[in-house]
Amino acid sequence: MIEPFFSVIINSHNGEKYLAEALGSVLSQSFEDYEIILFDNASDDGTSELAKNYSSRVRYYFSGRKLDLGDARNKAIALSRGKFIAFLDSDDFWNPTKLAMQYMAIKNYSGNRDLAICYTFADRLEESSGSITPFELGRKQGLQGDVYLDLLVDCFIPMSSVVVSKRHLLKVGGFDDNLQIIEEWDVWLKLANKFDCALVPERLTTIRFHKLNASKDLCRQEKEVLELYEKLEKFNNKMRIKRELKLGKRYFQFRFHVIRFLFYFKRFNPKAVYYFFRVASDLFLHPRVLLRLVNLNLSWQLFRFLLIKYR
């Protein structure tokens, strides 16, 4: 059995509209030592018919029932043969040099620990307006090596930009089967706690936002984030880690308050007043959150993106 360097995993649920562009961006890669696994998560659109057009290059698998995304990713990983797993969601796409540059980054890495994650910078493409914003806008930038403490506060690693060591991924137990929105953040934390992370500082990934994005489910996202912090608080006793967890939890609560304020403000809903005062209270009572905001690259461009995403 031939073992490719990369297994490209595309998880899709009713992703026919964008799937051809995603597959095309993989097939146009300058680095060619890869396989493609298309895991169809119970789609009822034309995904299966479209996959037939790529039958010579794509290994297609169909799930008869809809799985949470963490579970679907694990099942696709179990089918893979590569040394590194490259994730590409079916509505995203890559620059033609992405895998080549990540291959070189992996081969040339010389950190203190084994390398598990290699990611790239990414752009967000908002479908309806065509606007593009950098994924790292409002986040810490250029992080690599031991990134565990930074990941406790925010998930700055975009899913479709990542390649990850399959061996190390299996060591930490893979994805949480029960997560749908933040399954990647959970597994990046498990990996970063033990292994290093490398960055290719080029915009090689485009992440598309549209009306069907799972990440727009704010209620489930908030529930999963708070449950993740509860789990991390339970199993981490080091003072420095506890301090970062406290900051991260407050920062995300602040973000959810901002998003709800913007949501209601656009609709002239009186609830906007309530969330305006929640945002102000967050900043007044928790100065570390305010300090973090001052230190990040915040702009109207980011608030505009949030308005579009959670409209």
Distance in angstroms (rounded) separating the CA atoms of residues 119 and 111 = 15
Q: Where do the domains of the chain lie, and which CATH numbers do they carry?
A: 6-214 (3.90.550.10), 217-309 (no CATH)
pLDDT of residue 217 exceeding 90 = no
Better-scored residue on pLDDT, 285 or 33:
33
DSSP 287-311: HHHHHHHHHS---HHHHHHHHHHT-
Q: How many CA atoms lie within 13 A of 29 on its CB side?
A: 23
| Per-residue pLDDT reduced to its tens digit, 125-145 | 988 778 888 888 778 789 999
Indicate the pLDDT class of residue 303, thresholds 50, 70 and 90: low
**How confident is the model over 199-207, as a mean pLDDT?**
97
| Per-residue pLDDT reduced to its tens digit, 251-273 | 889 888 988 998 898 889 999 99
pTM (2 d.p.): 0.89
Q: Is the dihedral of CA 65, 71, 76, 78 positive or negative?
A: negative
Better-scored residue on pLDDT, 51 or 127:
51
Strand (E) positions, 50-149?
58-63, 84-87, 93-94, 115-126, 132-134
Indicate the pLDDT class of residue 289, thresholds 50, 70 and 90: confident
Range name among 38-47, 74-83, 285-294 with the lowest pLDDT average: 285-294
- pLDDT at residue 218, rounded to an integer: 83
Cβ contacts of 182 within 8 Å, gap of 6 or more? 155, 221, 224, 225, 228
Residue the block writes with tokens 């250029």: 142
Distance in angstroms (rounded) separating the CA atoms of residues 117 and 84 = 9
